[in-house]
Structure 1
Amino acid sequence: MASERHDRAAAAKQLVMDNARRHGMDDAEIYVAYSPYGGLRIRVVHEALAPHSESNRHEKLLAGIDAEVAELLTPDEAEWYGPPFAEYDIPIPVWADVLERSDSSEDLQFASDLDSDIESPVVVTFYSLRGGVGRTTALASTARILAARGRRVLCIDMDFEAPGLPYLFGLSEPTSDVGALPLLLALEQGETPDIRDHVARAHRADELYCLPAGKLDADYAQRLRLLDPESWYRDSPNPLHALLDLARSSSLAPDIVLIDSRTGISSVSAPLLFDVSDLAVICFFPHTQARIGTELLVRSMLAAKTRRSSDAYAIAPEPRFLVTPIPPGPSAEQVRDKALTWIDSWLSAVDSRRSTEVGKLQGDELTHFISYAPEVAFRDQVSLTNAIHEAYGPIADWLEQLLPQSNQSSVVGSVSKSDILGQLDFSTGTAEHQESFFEDFVKTKMSVQAMDSRYPLVIGRKGTGKTAVFRWLFERAESRPIPVVAPNAFRDRAPWSLGARGFSAIERRLGMRNADWQTFWTCYTALTAALSLAAEDITPADSPFDIALQDLISKGSNLDELDVVETISNMIEDSEAALKAARWLRLIDDRLEEEKFLLFDGLDTGFGNDAESRKRREEAVTGLFTFLTETESRLSKLAFKVLLRVDIWQQLRFENKSHLFGRSIQLLWRDQADYFKTVLKQAVRSEAFRRALDAASIGSNVDQWQESEVFQAWNLLVGERMKGGKTTFTRNWVWNRLADGQGDHGPRALSQLFHAAVGWEAREEARSPYDRSYIRPRALVPSLETVSDEAVQSLHEEFPELDALIHALEAVGRTPLDPTEIAQVDPEATGELDLALEVGLLAVHEGTVEEVRRYRVPDLYRHALGMTRRGQA
């Protein structure tokens, strides 16, 4: 676009030159450029224009040209008009122009969105529309933290009307002719000063430097009157740009420049915010008086183009929000919520300008809150206390994201990236369908406990690995277990396992014979134990029932549900069925020489998904646990292992439920390293990736990796840091976004994320090569939407009772949300809010579980529901 406008301006200039020659003005001074509003700006200076009126001048020089601004002047008039404008396609970043063009339809991209690092130094402006919000303290504290981390930091005090930054570093007042103000004026005059003559070292041990505004005296006030930031963009070189270039090229060579800007709409703050800053920290308190002005500021920033922009891409200054000071007490949460509500509404206006590759802006990731702390507020100088680190460390984290990564070299030199992308194969299916399941299975402390006979109950949310535990026990346990109830995928090897129709038929038979579910489970478990042992060529104990057991055994894999239902029906006709079945089970137990698990899995969906089926499941599973608690102590070799979804377990009510306290394991992924091993084990199946690990001196036995090796391999695969956002590391970004409303994680979602990311990276690599990791961090952003679609589809399948609520959330379209918003869409949907909390579709955003004022939809589901992240106005 810029090159096109340049060509049009050049063509217009040629026409003006031709017109001038026709009228004897061959030596005219001619300037042509585009104005901030997109029209042509033309200036012609020649003495021959003196006798002509303004309209005649237009007729002679601008024939065939449509100019928005035309300065057709004699030399005397030109002297009065002032110097000519610069002939390049950069809008002048002054408040009037910027506020006028505060809306844009162009793609919105920041320096932190780029795959490549930007040239140092990174420039950050701290700004506030109003005073009294701790802006300068925030800058000085952040500077101290960055310098303590080994960064070279230059702080510039450009709050010319009220300078004070040096004093927070304990520096004395500068001498005359030293400071940013005299330095800028010297650069305006074409001088070549040495910036080091104006800078003071702010800390002996760290590379922290301060450029003060200047010495406050009569000369300072006179110099301030001479400052004309708008003229910087008519001249070449630009003094502000020249100042930053001086810093970069000097021995100071800062990694980052922090600029303290004047409050309000000052002449200096506009170029700082809209031109030279890669990132701007906007400090404010959410007082009503600050809302309109701060909103307009944000809109203007998001429509501006910094000097990092080029013909290839436009770069806008990136906003960050520092809300301060947060008052103590119960009002703190209200202040935070109000500020995020404002910020989310401001940012949502540019959602359509953000591509899926970089992701939409999210207020809570771009905002930091500083609580009021007297020990900080009343300090004359900033020192590195724990309070300072805690309060301002997150701001330093933000800024470090723009700095070059520690490992800038290519990681794909020794191993072909195309080979690795071609070999990487991440499973998107469930545990029962994964061909490489045993290679990929990660044994965590929790999963090992889940396989221990001391824990008869294993609970977990959907996708946390219950079926993985079942499959490992079923196929890898030294002593083959007895699968009483198995998921669908395993029923060819456990043909006696009942499904929804079988359980429905059993319920009818129980009603006809006035029997209960506890009796069923006793009979059914004894029968399946006998059938399973016979399949292992172990002669089961004789049945105390008059049933054709040998006929059932001889059917083998041809056994079907009807056979089982009819056999159980015959057993429960006996008035002493429960007692006889219990004795049969004990006799079987006596015959065993080693411990065997009685496995119960597939109970979650095995009964069906309609309301009647769910009621049947609740009654049946209640009967199962009554049977378990009364039976297990009488068995020495047979050990119960029930795998159940946690929300089902929480709804059950039965006597002696407390007997399972301390004897159950909930599958949770609380350790990032263990969680990430689930995809890294899949990655090392790639021979090419194993070679890459070897080149990085990392072994390929993932089970033996320490945490540092896990993260090193992770960084090799997908990079260390995300670009943009509050969460610095890719591992944190993934961890936060794949969590459900309860904070739980499922390995399947992680595999789905990487499966999608590999495909995205392969397509993008053909267009834009990237060599710092085999999958660039940016690939995770669009891939998350694929995972979200899968997660919501899974909810539809397993929790159909949530369909009305899911449709209501889609209609509301934003999160957090009030329960009344759901009721307005569908009053009946509010009846499923408790279930939605239990399964992680929703989380409590404000209030308590007992009294929720607002809900939040986690990112895992939010994308597929088409919900934006914003508060209520």
Structure 2
Amino acid sequence: MQETWQGTLKQEITNYYVSSPQAWVDVNISTSGLLNLTIVSDHFADLSIPQRKEQVLSFLHQLKVPLSPGFLSLYAPQEAESLNLSRPQVVNGSLVYTWQDLALQAANPQNYPQPAQREPRVPRTVTFYSFKGGVGRTTALTHVAWILAMRGRKVVAVDLDLEAPGLSTAFNLNPQPEYGIVDYFYERSYLPEGVEPSISVAKIFGEVRMPNATGRLFVVPAGYLNLDYVSKVDDLRAITVVDSGESLWSVFTREIKEQLQPDIILVDSRTGINQWGALSLLQAADEVIIFLFPNEQNRQGIELLLQSIQALKNISINFVFTPVPDVTETGMSKVRKIWNNLHKNIKNARDINDETNEDETSDSDSDLDESQPELAEPLVVPYLSPIALADSYPVPALVDYYTRIANLIDEETDELKRKSILTGAEHRWEIIESLEFPEVNAADPKQELSLLFQRTTDFERFLDDMNCLIRGRKGTGKTALYWLLLKHKSVAQKLAHGRLDNTVCFSGHGRFHDSRPSRDEFKTIQKELQREEGSWEAFWRAYLLLRLFKEKYFKFPRGKKGAKFNELKAIFRDLPGDRWKYEYTQSLIHLSSDSSLRLIVKDAIDLIDEQAKSKSETLWFLYDDLDEDFPEVGEVRHQALTGLFQLIQACEARRTVAIRFKIFLREDIWTRLNFDNKSHFNGRDILLQWTRIDFLRLALRQAIQSNDFKNLVDRFSPVESIDQASEETIDRALELLWGSRRRRGQKAKYVSRWVYERLTDSSGTTFPRSLSLLLKGSKEQELTYRGQTSIQSPTDRLLRGKSLEIGLKKASEERCNAIKEEYPDLRRFFDHLKGVSALPTREELQTVWQESAQNVLSPFDEFADWLNEIGLAEWRDNEQRYKIADIYVYGFEMIRIGTV
């Protein structure tokens, strides 16, 4: 519970004056700011009334009470007993019906228990309120209701602007229902005991016909405008309690739920401070959306409202500025100023809970995590003349202006639905245990790759025969594509939708064949080619021919046509077994160095191309592990790769159109590779990038390997096809796994964005393996909370924010180890990053470089460019600092807190 100065004052007075069971204190502060005290104490037994007052006033002066004294009622216990005075009862803070109730509660929090978090209510009620009229509140409600119904929600819109109704007119509701909510309330207010009402809830709503909507929209109008209506409104009281002990609003919500089972109730509230506005805000609302014009009059009115409703700490409050006539930077600066001031006045229980609940926060909540909040700008609807001139709503062309408001409501509604689905503690742990998050390992023939492989947006371009270079950082999925085509051809064909049906794939080089040259053998090949004046281009051509011969795809022709290939046949025929041996290496060197044999190998390749064309086949040669099998020292890697690209150019020059190449190469290696006509490959390359939708699809694909989790998704937000579903649909399904936002409150970052950004380096490269590790680590951490009754489990997600952060640390550690293996010469630099700020200045990073990497790569500017190239750091002009990518910050144990 958060302590207040009023509570402290009451405690100080109690501590001083209450020394026996008969003594007690009542502290009440009037709405005008006067301190009214009733004190029953043994201290007053022998004192006169003036002496008592003098003593109390002196005590209050010592306490430096910032209020003027009002009524001071001071008694000895015997006096209080003779007057039948009794100590005050605990006030039920939930029975707030009027503005006066609220004002008294706001002024006297010491007399009210800390309001409990309101239990999730279905349907969720959202009140649209404005202090002044003419700000487009009703217009916004109609458009938001329309959007929600189009998204599949069942919405009930209620007109509680009883003194100026117009919701049914705005919707052009036809036919109108027989009665309105005024008739419904009035009958129940004056119905004799034991008599059933004749106006049922089914008679007071009509439906807005929406042919293309997957949801439904119902409207409860205020009623028909006639003299009877005027009389009823004047006689009605919003605080009326019926014989059952329920308020009018409670009766209505209970019966509308029984009749329609809506997802959301939208309330169009009366403006200003009046009884129906009080009902709309204090009794009805789970969430309040306050509409205001950006001027001083509206600001002051809303601040007064916030002073009152701040006591209701379980209501979510958002602001919409409308209609804003000036949306230029000048006009928006005024809006932002008012918006920021209003947010400072909100004391929302959700935010308070977040500050004290260890389960929902983490040690990085104070660092960079929330530096870019989702709701970083106020919600604004500009002045729109088509809206102002419209006879009915919504105006379809302008619906998008209200989408952000609908998103806020949708998010809260989804949270309620998730909570209802995830109810049941033991079942929750069983589901978490069932989660596996298997990494995609295309090299494993036992893995069900058709269920796990994510077809990214790059995959379509990859299928293009002309694209021969597949670039990417280590861990971005190059090797997965290599194995997919070689070991899982049927899966690849299904993913390609027929584009691979006439394609035959071979491993030009890579781990698909155990029999291949090793790194040491490539060093030998380099020396021998230099000594024998051979070329790497010729080597790769001979190696390609050898692969086809070993795969038994190609046989040399017989008779005269095949006579010139006799020496080649003899060389291949005499090679020993399947394992790579000395004879293989020497044969390739010989084929690459002998001028006559080099020409014959070319002819053999041409013949293979012709045979493939005659069968309408395309041959793909895949090259992987080129970074690992070719050492960088001694120019081996540079010359070998240059020769491979020269082979591609030579084949295309000879028009061998059936033979195509797919070279999987690490991005930084390609960047530093220089050879003649390198620009020939511009536009024929693919830089593998995981977009956010690709990433989220992979996360969902892994999660639904658990049937238990898939069943949850099917109940909450079914996904027919992961590859065809929108990002919004995928995101919604994943909210069952990790929730919507990192923390409570509209300024918190969305979890899906947080995960994607944390696993993306400075070059925009995201690592799918890191996702699996993060989720595995999160699951393991979450299970450690099982059985700990002192730690409350989240009710709207399976994995809490703290668990995700622990998982991120494990993913980061693996990524840091990977980059150390990629660049072993800079291991000392990586180790020196420990304890360094995640946002180092140029001087700080240069100092680390001087201590650990100056002898490896210099000058410093070139080194800094290289860090940016490999995605580890980027320069930020605004801060005049480098930003180390989060995927490395945790693993290198860098300092995150206090960097912004």
TM-score, structure 2 normalization: 0.59
Counterpart CA distance in 1 for 2:729 and 2:410 is: 23
2:283 aligns with: 249
Counterpart CA distance in 2 for 1:537 and 1:567 is: 17
Q: What is the DSSP-based 3-state SS (H/G/I as helix, E as strand, rest coil) of the residue aligned with 1:714?
A: helix
Q: What is the DSSP-based 3-state SS (H/G/I as helix, E as strand, rest coil) of the residue aligned with 1:367?
A: coil
Cα distance change of structure 1 residues 840 and 448 upon mapping to structure 2, 3 Å threshold: same
2:417 corresponds to 1:407: yes
What is the identity, as a one-letter code, of the residue corresponding to 1:438?
Answer: L
In the TM superposition, residue 410 of structure 1 has moved relative to its aligned partner by 1.8
Counterparts of 1:785-864 in structure 2, within 5 Å, are 785-799=809-823, 813-814=837-838, 822-823=845-846, 826=849, 830-841=861-872, 860-861=887-888, 864=891
Counterparts of 1:288-687 in structure 2, within 5 Å, are 306=349, 352=363, 354=365, 360-368=369-377, 393-394=403-404, 397-398=407-408, 400-403=410-413, 405=415, 407-408=417-418, 409-410=420-421, 417-428=428-439, 431-432=442-443, 435-436=446-447, 438-439=449-450, 440-443=452-455, 446-447=458-459, 450=462, 453=465, 455-477=467-489, 481-487=505-511, 490=512, 493-499=513-519, 501-533=520-552, 544=567, 549=572, 552-554=575-577, 556-557=578-579, 559-560=580-581, 564-574=584-594, 578-583=598-603, 585-586=605-606, 596-608=619-631, 612=633, 616-632=636-652, 633=654, 635=656, 638-660=659-681, 663-670=684-691, 672=693, 675-687=695-707
What is the identity, as a one-letter code, of the residue corresponding to 2:772?
Answer: S
**Residues 702-725 of structure 1: CA deviation (Å, up to 9, x unaligned):** 689765997499358527733645
- The match for 1:721 among 740, 746, 750 is 740
2:67 corresponds to 1:44: no
**Residues 748-801 of structure 1: CA deviation (Å, up to 9, x unaligned):** 333334323433443446554567666578865553444344334433333557
Cα distance change of structure 1 residues 2 and 837 upon mapping to structure 2, 3 Å threshold: closer
C-alpha contact 2:736 2:796 (8 A) present in aligned 1? no
Counterpart CA distance in 2 for 1:16 and 1:72 is: 20
Cα distance change of structure 1 residues 619 and 693 upon mapping to structure 2, 3 Å threshold: same
Range 465-474 or range 140-149, more displaced = 140-149
Cα distance change of structure 1 residues 544 and 591 upon mapping to structure 2, 3 Å threshold: farther
C-alpha contact 2:832 2:848 (8 A) present in aligned 1? yes
C-alpha contact 2:456 2:690 (8 A) present in aligned 1? no
In the TM superposition, residue 397 of structure 1 has moved relative to its aligned partner by 3.2
Cα distance change of structure 1 residues 668 and 57 upon mapping to structure 2, 3 Å threshold: closer
What is the identity, as a one-letter code, of the residue corresponding to 1:441?
Answer: F
Q: What is the DSSP-based 3-state SS (H/G/I as helix, E as strand, rest coil) of the residue aligned with 1:363?
A: coil
Cα distance change of structure 1 residues 460 and 635 upon mapping to structure 2, 3 Å threshold: same
Cα distance change of structure 1 residues 73 and 455 upon mapping to structure 2, 3 Å threshold: closer
C-alpha contact 1:804 1:829 (8 A) present in aligned 2? no
**Residues 342-362 of structure 1: CA deviation (Å, up to 9, x unaligned):** xxxxxxxx9858499xx9433
Counterparts of 1:860-871 in structure 2, within 5 Å, are 860-861=887-888, 864=891, 866=894
Q: What is the DSSP-based 3-state SS (H/G/I as helix, E as strand, rest coil) of the residue aligned with 1:459?
A: strand
Counterpart CA distance in 2 for 1:74 and 1:773 is: 51
2:219 aligns with: none
**Residues 659-703 of structure 1: CA deviation (Å, up to 9, x unaligned):** 54555455444582x65454444445445456667778969x968
Cα distance change of structure 1 residues 279 and 789 upon mapping to structure 2, 3 Å threshold: farther
C-alpha contact 2:777 2:807 (8 A) present in aligned 1? yes
Counterpart CA distance in 1 for 2:865 and 2:824 is: 15
In the TM superposition, residue 373 of structure 1 has moved relative to its aligned partner by 6.8
2:268 aligns with: 209
C-alpha contact 1:424 1:686 (8 A) present in aligned 2? yes
Cα distance change of structure 1 residues 576 and 727 upon mapping to structure 2, 3 Å threshold: farther
Counterpart CA distance in 2 for 1:126 and 1:445 is: 45
Q: What is the DSSP-based 3-state SS (H/G/I as helix, E as strand, rest coil) of the residue aligned with 1:436?
A: coil
Cα distance change of structure 1 residues 570 and 417 upon mapping to structure 2, 3 Å threshold: same
**Residues 368-423 of structure 1: CA deviation (Å, up to 9, x unaligned):** 168997869x9999998799766664465346534454735326889955554333
Counterparts of 1:276-287 in structure 2, within 5 Å, are 276=313, 278-279=316-317
Counterpart CA distance in 2 for 1:19 and 1:585 is: 105
Counterpart CA distance in 2 for 1:741 and 1:514 is: 43
C-alpha contact 1:262 1:268 (8 A) present in aligned 2? no
2:773 corresponds to 1:752: yes
C-alpha contact 1:506 1:565 (8 A) present in aligned 2? yes
C-alpha contact 1:450 1:469 (8 A) present in aligned 2? no
In the TM superposition, residue 295 of structure 1 has moved relative to its aligned partner by 9.3
C-alpha contact 1:761 1:775 (8 A) present in aligned 2? yes
**Residues 494-533 of structure 1: CA deviation (Å, up to 9, x unaligned):** 322433x333343333444444432433344344444454
Counterpart CA distance in 2 for 1:89 and 1:352 is: 37
**Residues 111-149 of structure 1: CA deviation (Å, up to 9, x unaligned):** 8xx99789966799999xxxxxx9997989876754554
**Residues 295-349 of structure 1: CA deviation (Å, up to 9, x unaligned):** 9998897xx6749978x99589x9xxxxxxxxxxxxxxxxxxxxxxxxxxxxxxx
Counterpart CA distance in 2 for 1:282 and 1:78 is: 49
C-alpha contact 2:37 2:72 (8 A) present in aligned 1? no
- The match for 1:762 among 769, 783, 802 is 783
Cα distance change of structure 1 residues 146 and 818 upon mapping to structure 2, 3 Å threshold: farther
In the TM superposition, residue 366 of structure 1 has moved relative to its aligned partner by 3.6
Cα distance change of structure 1 residues 820 and 86 upon mapping to structure 2, 3 Å threshold: farther
In the TM superposition, residue 289 of structure 1 has moved relative to its aligned partner by 13
1:200 aligns with: none
Task: Extract unaligned runs of 5+ from structure 2.
Answer: 30-35, 76-86, 94-101, 108-115, 150-154, 162-166, 171-232, 241-245, 251-264, 293-297, 322-328, 491-502, 851-858
In the TM superposition, residue 602 of structure 1 has moved relative to its aligned partner by 1.1
Counterpart CA distance in 2 for 1:665 and 1:425 is: 31
Counterpart CA distance in 2 for 1:185 and 1:415 is: 42
Range 524-533 or range 148-157, more displaced = 148-157
Cα distance change of structure 1 residues 524 and 295 upon mapping to structure 2, 3 Å threshold: same
Range 708-717 or range 464-473, more displaced = 708-717
Q: What is the DSSP-based 3-state SS (H/G/I as helix, E as strand, rest coil) of the residue aligned with 2:625?
A: coil
TM-score, structure 1 normalization: 0.61
In the TM superposition, residue 868 of structure 1 has moved relative to its aligned partner by 5.0
Q: What is the DSSP-based 3-state SS (H/G/I as helix, E as strand, rest coil) of the residue aligned with 2:637?
A: helix
Counterpart CA distance in 1 for 2:556 and 2:547 is: 14
Cα distance change of structure 1 residues 654 and 517 upon mapping to structure 2, 3 Å threshold: same
2:99 aligns with: none
In the TM superposition, residue 367 of structure 1 has moved relative to its aligned partner by 0.6
Counterpart CA distance in 2 for 1:712 and 1:185 is: 42
C-alpha contact 1:647 1:839 (8 A) present in aligned 2? yes
In the TM superposition, residue 600 of structure 1 has moved relative to its aligned partner by 0.8
